[in-house]
Amino acid sequence: MGKARYKIKVDEATCIGCGACASECPENWELKETGEGYKGHPKASVISEEDLEKNKAAESICPVQAIKISKA
């Protein structure tokens, strides 16, 4: 496994709280209550290469592209 690390960001203003990320990747995604309603939230916001693929699946399935994963 590589040593690259990746940072996850959620644009909460864009997130509609649909829960698709949590369904796709329950290992690292949950819905969290905020003052603006439920928002998708990564349990870990920095991940390693081995967790990239499943988190990328959450990024891809988000219907409003609120999730961005980039190299840390």
**List of residues contacting ligand SF4 (CB under 6 A):** 10, 15-21, 40, 62, 64, 66-67
When the beta carbons of 10 and 69 are compared against ligand SF4, the nearer one is: 10
Question: What's CA 70's distance to the chain center, in Å?
Answer: 11
Which CB atom, from 2 or from 64, has the smaller least distance to ligand SF4? Answer: 64
Q: Which tokens sit at 10?
A: 């959620």
Least distance between ligand SF4 and beta carbon 67 (Å): 5
Residue nearest to ligand SF4 (CB): 40
Q: Which residues contact 52 (CB under 8 A, 6 or more apart)?
A: 6, 69
Place of tokens 């329950």: 26
- Output phi, psi for 5, to 5 deg: -120, 150
Nearer to ligand SF4, 1 or 53 (CB): 53
